[in-house]
Amino acid sequence: MIQMRLKLRYSGFALDVDLQVPGRGVTALYGHSGSGKTTCLRCIAGLERAEQGFVQVNDEVWQDSDNRIFVAPHKRALGYVFQEASLFPHLSVLANLAFGLKRIPKPQRRVDMAHATELLGISHLLDRHPQHLSGGERQRVGIARALLTSPKLLLMDEPLAALDAQRKGEILPYLQRLHDELDIPVLYVSHSQDEVARLADHIVLLSNGRALASGPIGQTLARLDLPLAMGDDAGVVIEGRVSAYDADYQLLSLQLPDTTLNIRVPHTPLDAGQALRCKVQARDVSLSLDNTGQSSILNRLPVTVVSEMSADNAAHVLIRLDAAGTPLLARITRYSRDQLNIHPGQPLWAQIKAVAVLA
């Protein structure tokens, strides 16, 4: 468990958060610029000293202002990845990595050079210097250098913000490998909901220095009382498992958690039982009273209406649905809502026009 109680005041900004987040997996600190994401990270790292602060990472207390405890930044067992990799330009990739490794006595090393370079796909870059690397390659080297400090917590401050779409696509699979293969908790700062949906297990929504919400990503993205539901990219994340593959049509069947319901998505073959994450956008869900008509829409699920909220324009409403325990959101017109007489507790069919596999 990671605990943080932080109060810090600047001119025109105040941070005031009291949070407990899981001590494993990826927790995203999400919010618009100026919401306090980076300030939280800097307080956890000890780069900013909260006036009133308590920071505990699993069994280690790094700050407790009530008891006058403040562990210096260089003594905190963490790795920090910034927007820019900030590699030493006069050193090779190998020498940059060795700089991180040398900080840790051999008996305390949990990640070795071979593991880090293989995990980030940089083994072939070791002899190069930073000026001969792409932006994505530099960032992967920066992440590997942070891992070689054998951190008990990895802080990542918008590591993809400085990259174009192609470089982001290049580096995301490596970030997923970190999530899947390393038992190091990560606090990941981002203002991109798609990044968060792809990588995070838990999400903290920040606004104006306050935490509006904190919880598992699937449930939190589906909350209608949060600003997350209002944007054009609003949707839910589903963690399913592969149940079958149709080779003729190249369609993968993905079983929803704790149910026999399946959705089908175009995909290459995967082994049955393999976990797969996908996102269903609210704008891609339509609703029907029955399941009798033929349609080109591939996925239809029986659902129950949970609740409704006005959307960010007067023509639309947002409907929260329950598909045998899996939450869904639908963004529909008020006209359609009235024509179908949609109300809480009503059984309907959700027609899902597109499913984005986050892999």
Q: Which DSSP symbol is given to 233?
A: T
Same domain, 196 and 243: no
What is the DSSP secondary-structure string of 225-272? TSGGGTSTT-EEEEEEEEEEEETTTTEEEEEPTTSS-EEEEE-----T
pLDDT tens-digit readout, 199-231: 999 999 999 999 999 999 989 999 998 888 887
Q: Which residue has the higher pLDDT, 245 or 359?
A: 245
Dihedral angle sign, alpha carbons of residues 190, 194, 198, 204: positive
Same domain, 263 and 286: yes
Same domain, 71 and 198: yes
State CA 119 to chain mean position distance: 19
Quote the pLDDT of residue 123.
93
Same domain, 74 and 167: yes
pLDDT tens-digit readout, 268-308: 999 999 999 999 999 999 999 998 777 889 899 999 999 99
Q: Considering the chain, what is the average pLDDT of its residues? A: 91
Instruction: Fill in the amino acid letter for 306.
Output: V
Quote the pLDDT of residue 259.
92
Same domain, 85 and 220: yes
Q: How far apart are CA 98 and CA 354, in angstroms?
A: 46
Same domain, 30 and 152: yes
What is the DSSP secondary-structure string of 143-160? HHHHHTT--SEEEEESTT
Same domain, 120 and 249: no
Same domain, 38 and 126: yes
Pairing of strands 316-323, 326-333: antiparallel
Quote the pLDDT of residue 140.
92
Per-residue confidence band for 359, with pLDDT thresholds at 50, 70 and 90: low
Same domain, 189 and 262: no
Map residue 62 onto helix, strand or coil.
Answer: strand
Q: How far apart are CA 257 and CA 240, in angstroms?
A: 6
Same domain, 263 and 300: yes
pLDDT tens-digit readout, 47-95: 999 999 999 999 899 999 999 999 999 899 999 998 888 899 999 999 9
Residue 256, domain extent: 235-357
The number of folded domains in the chain is 2
User: Which CATH number characterizes residue 329's domain?
Assistant: 2.40.50.100
Per-residue confidence band for 176, with pLDDT thresholds at 50, 70 and 90: confident
pTM for this one?
0.88
